[in-house]
Chain A
Amino acid sequence: MAKITYYTHDNKTHTIDVQNGLTVMEGAVQNDIPGIDADCGGGMACATCHVYVKEEWLDKLPAKEDGEEDMLDMAFEPKNNSRLSCQLIVSDELDGLEVNIPSKQG
């Protein structure tokens, strides 16, 4: 279990407990946090679960797999701290993770 904080574009903060093994994307979708579309359902094929990870967390996250950076090319306003939330699998190590959800996904 990890506490994950999602900052949505409407300036709201959502801190929720996400079970280990789920993805950061699923944590948002299952808890009705707006702004993560996840159109492809977690297949790293659409870039609509794009989030900005708080800088201090960047190095603590699992490295990007082949293809994630390619998909991020398609994301809405990608930055250096961009990740696809469907690729971030929750574990105890991610307790306290903070992500910003972009204003839109496409």
Chain B
Amino acid sequence: MNKTDVLIIGAGPTGLFCAHQLGIIGLSCEIVDNLDKAGGQCIELYPDKPIYDIPAVPECTGEELTNNLLQQIKPFNVKFHLNERVEELKKNQNRWNVKTSGGVEFDVAAIVIAGGVGSFEPRKFPVKECEKFEGNSLFYSIKDKSIFKNKTISIFGGGDSALDWAIELSNTSKVNLIHRRDGFSGAEASVQKVKELNEQGKLNLYTKYQMDSVLGDKKIVSVKIKHDEGEIKEIKSDYVLGFFGLIMQLGPILDWGLNIDKKTVQVNTENFETNINGIFAIGDICSYPGKLKLILSGFHEGALAARGCFKYAKPDEKLRFEFTTTSKAAQERLGIKK
């Protein structure tokens, strides 16, 4: 059981800055995120795209912003729990018990949901029967590539993941790469490599095809793919891999009894608390009249939510407003030596 003052759900910019604000006022926190790294949408959707509307930062990329925020919270030694999705929530007297998908448990005084548009999950095939093979002969990510050795693998997608795995697996497996158009979004060098392998017969490339159906009983035996013009081909496959990027899902938070409207959680604008005492929501996931989905709004919301958490974490103490420029306590927490 991890005991801390506040659990932050989501390691995007809003969650990270909220951790800073909690640290400044002397509260401890830990952060859970379903991705394998901090940064949220900034890292997952646009690491290289410049952002121009962070106050006092004329231009920075999603990755730079994330790195700067991580640097800024370094003094607080915040513990991250990555690759974990929050699942269960239970009230335990005045505190909350939270459990994640990986079985990590928390005992906290307050919760800040900074979950953006939800947790990132792999985007799946539209074909319904794919579900029944998922995890046995159909995958959206690769954990153990040794199972593919000497097998026939059909890979769907045109981005870097699809191309990189097609190239790598073609060394030890028979690979079919299927993509909906001639163009690819992956790196040009990988595209060239795939085309070369196709010409050398070391890989079969099918463009302008998409999945039509999967066939098999317990495991996949073959897939049918359909050309833009309607022609259908059946190709033998032991395994099917789909790489269509990630989609955001609100997930188990939906069942927590929060007031939810159009995938967002309603909050008050005084401290960004939800309809449940001790649970706050900030950033893209919260809604209130006038809400702007900007990173700078998330920072403001996080600063107020952090202060809102104080009374739950330290019910017998009074929080005094202080500036970091002059507060000895805040500077000590930041590890500043004078």
A contact residues vs B (CB 8 Å cutoff): 37, 39-41, 43, 45-48, 69-70, 73-74, 76-78, 80, 105-106
15 new A-B pairs (CB below 8 Å) besides A41-B293, A74-B244?
A37-B263, A39-B117, A39-B118, A40-B41, A45-B41, A45-B46, A69-B181, A69-B183, A73-B157, A73-B159, A73-B185, A74-B159, A76-B123, A76-B126, A106-B124
A73 adjacent to B180 (CB under 8 Å): yes
- 1/0 per residue, CB under 8 A from A, across B104-128: the answer is 0000000000000110000110100
B13 to chain A, nearest CB (A): 14
In the complex, whether B50 has a CB less than 8 A from a CB of chain A is no
CA distance A40 to B126 in the complex (A): 21
Q: List 26 A-B contacts (CB under 8 A).
A: A37-B263, A39-B247, A39-B248, A40-B41, A41-B284, A43-B46, A45-B41, A45-B45, A45-B46, A46-B45, A46-B248, A69-B181, A70-B158, A73-B157, A73-B158, A73-B159, A73-B180, A73-B181, A73-B185, A73-B244, A74-B123, A74-B245, A76-B123, A77-B126, A78-B180, A78-B210
CA distance A66 to B320 in the complex (A): 51
Q: Are B123 and A80 in contact (CB under 8 A)?
A: no
Contacts of B199 in A (CB 8 A): none
- 10 closest A-B pairs (Cβ-Cβ)? A70-B185, A106-B247, A45-B45, A74-B245, A39-B117, A77-B126, A73-B158, A74-B244, A39-B248, A106-B123
> A76–B123 Cα gap in the complex (Å)?
8
CB neighbours of A76 from chain B (8 A): 123, 126
CA distance A77 to B130 in the complex (A): 14
Which residues in A have their C-beta under 8 angstroms from that of B185? Answer: 69-70, 73
Report A-chain residues with C-beta under 8 Å of the C-beta of B118. Answer: 39
Minimum distance in angstroms from B207 CB to a CB of chain A: 12
Q: Which residues of A contact B293 (CB under 8 A)?
A: 41
**B307 beta carbon closer than 8 Å to chain A:** no
Nearest-Cβ distance from residue A59 to partner chain B, whole angstroms: 18
Main secondary structure of the interface of B (DSSP, over half): loop
A29 to chain B minimum Cβ distance, whole angstroms, is 9
The residue among A43, A48, A73 with the most chain B CB atoms within 10 A of its own CB is A73
A52 to B211, CA, bound (A): 19
Chain B residues in 8 Å Cβ range of A48: 247
Q: Quick check: B45 and A80 within 8 Å, CB to CB?
A: no
Contact check, A70 vs B263: say whether CB atoms are below 8 A apart. Answer: no
B179 touches A73 (CB 8 A): yes
Can you name the residue of chain B whose Cβ is closest to the Cβ of A39? Answer: B117
Contacts of B49 in A (CB 8 A): 43, 45
Q: A73-B159, A106-B123 are in contact. Are A46 and B183 (CB under 8 A)?
A: no
Q: How far is the CB of A89 from chain B (nearest CB, A)?
A: 19
Which of B179, B181, B210, B263 counts the most A-chain CB atoms under 10 A from its CB? B181
Residues of chain A within 8 A (CB-CB) of B159 are: 70, 73-74
Decide if B126 touches A46 in the complex (CB within 8 Å). Answer: no
Report A11 CB to chain B, min CB distance, Å: 19
- Cα–Cα, bound, A76→B244 (Å): 9
B322 in the interface, Cβ–Cβ < 8 Å? Answer: no
Please provide the chain B residues from 266 to 299 with a CB less than 8 Å away from any CB of chain A in the complex.
284, 293
| Chain B residues within an 8 Å CB radius of A70 | 158-159, 183, 185
Residue-wise, chain B 233-250 has the 8 Å CB interface mask toward A (1 for contact) of 000000000001101100
B131 in contact (CB, < 8 A):
no
CB distance from A49 to the nearest CB of B (A): 12
Q: How far is the CA of A73 from the CA of B244 in the complex (A)?
A: 7
Chain A positions within 8 Å of B181 at CB level: 69, 73
Given A39-B247, A69-B183: A80 and B158 within 8 A (CB)?
no
- B228: which of A47, A73, A80, A105 is its contact (CB, 8 Å)? A80
Tell me the bound Cα distance from A69 to B159 in angstroms: 11
> Does B247 contact A46, Cβ atoms closer than 8 Å?
yes
Select from chain A the residue with minimum beta-carbon distance to B244. A74
Within the assembled complex, what's the spacing in Å between the Cα atoms of A76 and B122? 12
